[in-house]
Amino acid sequence: MTHSVSGSFVSSLGSEITPAKVEIRADGDFVVRHKDTGETIQQASPEQVSYGDVLPGLEVDLLFFDGSRFTPDDAKYRWPKQSASQSLLHGLETRWLSVVVATVVLPLVLWVLAYRVLPQAADLTAPYLPDWVSVQMSEQTLTVLDKTALSSTQLSESEQQQVRQLWQHIFDNSTLDQSQYTLLFRDFSLGANAFALPDGTVVLTDDFVNELKDDPEGIIAVMLHEIGHVKHQHSLKLATRATAAGVMFALVLGDIEGAGETIIGTATSLLQSAFSREMETQADTFALRYLKRLGIETEALGRALATITHIDEGDAREFENFYQYFSSHPKTLDRIENSKQADQQPRD
């Protein structure tokens, strides 16, 4: 069955507009004839044509392989073989309800991807990363920190040895493999801190050691907390989650400079903060479990946290409620309370 469409034809050889009609044959071929004389002026198979963009209120051109084009008179006419994607786009543009629904659904889909799908996928990927990834990440991180924020420790050999004895006590009285972990000391101008790198390196700052020098069990508790980060591969998971989140936001926002880069950076930072709170809780649980195995009161962890935070309970509640989302750790007072309650639970 053949049907025809009236319109105008413009040849690739010039800009003259010719009144014409297109015959669409049963086999899908297109034949363009002069509207008045019936002379054939163009012919093409379905594979030799494409279609213009579908925009509400505008005609959809039939584009030929040689650059010629046919424009129908009827702006509402749609070509039989027009792609489904173009038809869908046109439907969305002409149906406001669809647009409203899409506006509501898209943020929800992004939220599910960012907070459910991506973290789980990243966590499943981390254990399969080769060991050299952890080693290289740790070396690069420590190199950057040594050049920017850290400096050589000012602790005496005697002070370092006292902490190393506490470190050794952990492995002598547990099933943890000491060969997988390394203890380092660094001076840090911003105060007491401790952190773990993916390859098992645990770094204690001078201020941390000095502030807890009268609480050896507190030092053990924090070192166990950092070992917990390594055991659960938190750094690797953070890296894979951050990479996945960055790719997702970049794909959604497209190639947007300036403000777009700021949004991507902020969004990724906020996602990492949420993940970090979850991971801090896991590391606390790990530390509390091993404190029990070592015969140390679990309150030692809370006591150490209270010592290095330097904030009273009233100020802490007000501060933590306001900055809850942007904090990379769970509420310190909640962590202290959990460490006290853990002593009342049976030892595993």
pLDDT tens-digit map of 281-312: 899 999 999 999 999 999 999 999 999 887 54
How far apart (Å, rounded) are the C-alpha atoms in residues 150 and 159?
Answer: 19
Residue 126 has a pLDDT of 83
Task: Extract the residue ranges of the chain whose pLDDT is less than 50.
Answer: 84-85, 256-275, 312-328
Query: In whole numbers, what is the pLDDT of the chain averaged over residues?
Result: 81
Q: At what angle do helices 299-309 and 216-231 cross, to 10 degrees?
A: 100
Residue 258 has a pLDDT of 44
Share of the chain above pLDDT 70, in %: 78
Residue 315 has a pLDDT of 46
Q: What is the pTM of this model?
A: 0.61
Cβ within 8 Å of residue 20, ≥6 positions away: 6, 7, 8, 9, 32, 33, 34, 35, 41, 70
Residue 346 has a pLDDT of 60
How far apart (Å, rounded) are the C-alpha atoms in residues 58 and 73?
Answer: 10
Residue 339 has a pLDDT of 81
Residue 314 has a pLDDT of 46
Q: At what angle do helices 313-322 and 332-342 cross, to 10 degrees?
A: 120
Residue 317 has a pLDDT of 44
- Domain limits of the chain? 3-73, 130-342
